[in-house]
Amino acid sequence: MSVVPPLLRVERVRKHFALTKGILFTRTLGHIKAVDDVSFDIRAGETLGLVGESGCGKTTTSRMILNLEEPTEGRILLEGEPIHALQGEALHAYRVKVQAVFQDPWSSLNPRMKVGRTIAESLIVNAWGDRAKIAERVRELLLQVGLRPEQAQQYPHEFSGGQRQRVALAAALASRPKLIVLDEPVSALDVSIRAQMMNLLKDIQAQDDVAYLLVAHDLATVRHMADHTVVMYLGKIVEQAPTAALFEDVRHPYTRALFSAVLVARPNPQEEEIELKGEVPSPLDPPSGCRFHTRCPYVMPRCSQHEPALREVSPGHSVACYLFE
């Protein structure tokens, strides 16, 4: 039986940033371990949720996937091709296949450009067709994201926050990408329209077979959207599982603390709540052993001495914690 390769593979990736001092004579003070030995796959047409507090490495991971940062070690492959060796035409083709929608749509919309032109931009750059064909595609995209074709003539300030996010999504979809990085796509929106946006994203995925990397701190969004969930803490994966399995049977103390902090309705009322105390330690000098040991209520002597490996506890569900050896 042939195994279908993943659309995107993140393979033992590390990203360490040098922290330097001085202008003429720079001195390296240390390295920020933003991402440390992270691996996961994203399959075509599926959503992978990447969650954790700020500083956990999820943004750096998504920037590496967008080819905006190069890993210090490890590889990222799209359809089997390592992405950081790409140059010229091949790099351009990658940027067509992998798009992004950010939390703040203002960051991707030019306030002085009519939204129709913004959506058409990537089609024009890629010589997608003549004027009439591009105009037809813009019309189709506006309808697909729930806007009216005549709104192509309006400027971003004439739209609400939710509508601007729809425009940003239409622009990302224009070149028919295989993967869209959704960086906190609904967290800036009113609660009342978040569900609409999430449903729209799911409908588009079902129509276009596009995969999403959903970067979020909000577990409710991940639960609604993601097929698989990866939980990161201080640059490391601490737990990963199919989303339904994770919400049924959350294991790692950090993930349980995230659930306690964020979800009103607890996934499993029998589970003891864990209150997350203190700040995330600095990634410049992360704690030894298990990086969560400075905040973990179950800490044992060996937790600070050796790092627990990520182990499978049930099919597809892996946890990095000595409680589950």
Binding of ligand SF4 by 296 (CB under 6 A): yes
Contacts of 182 (CB under 8 A, 6+ apart): 100, 101, 201, 212, 213, 214, 215, 216
Residue 299 sits in the site that holds ligand SF4 (CB under 6 A): yes
Does 253 sit near ligand SF4 (CB under 6 A)? yes
Nearer to ligand SF4, 209 or 298 (CB): 298
Do the beta carbons of residue 198 and residue 212 sit within 8 Å?
no
CB 65 → ligand SF4: shortest distance, Å?
27
- Count of other CB atoms within 10 angstroms of residue 16: 17
**Of the residues 172, 250, 258, 321, which one makes contact with ligand SF4 according to CB under 6 A:** 321
Give the up-direction half-sphere exposure of residue 55: CA atoms within 13 A in the CB hemisphere.
11
CB of 60 to ligand SF4, least distance (A): 22
Rounded distance, CA 74 to CA 10, Å? 8
Residue 256 contacts ligand SF4 per CB under 6 A: no
CA atoms within 13 A on the CB side of 292: 29
Bridge-partner residues for 42, per DSSP?
8
CB atoms within 10 A of CB 139: 16
Cβ proximity to ligand SF4: between 134 and 296 the closer is 296
CA atoms of 9 and 164, how far apart (whole Å): 31
Q: Is residue 232 near ligand SF4 by the rule CB under 6 A?
A: no
Give min distance, CB of 185 to ligand SF4, in A. Answer: 30
- For position 258 contacting ligand SF4 by CB under 6 A, the verdict is no
Q: Does 309 bind ligand SF4 (CB under 6 A)?
A: no
Near ligand SF4 by CB under 6 A: residue from 266, 298, 305, 314: 298
| Mode of pairing for the β-strands spanning 73-78 and 81-82 | antiparallel
- Using only C-alpha atoms, what is the Rg of the chain? 21
At its nearest, how many Å lie between ligand SF4 and the CB of residue 57? Answer: 17
Nearer to ligand SF4, 102 or 322 (CB): 322
How near is the Cβ of 318 to ligand SF4 at its closest, in Å?
13
CB of 290 to ligand SF4, least distance (A): 3
Contact positions vs ligand SF4 (CB under 6 A): 253, 290, 292-293, 296, 298-300, 303, 308, 321-323
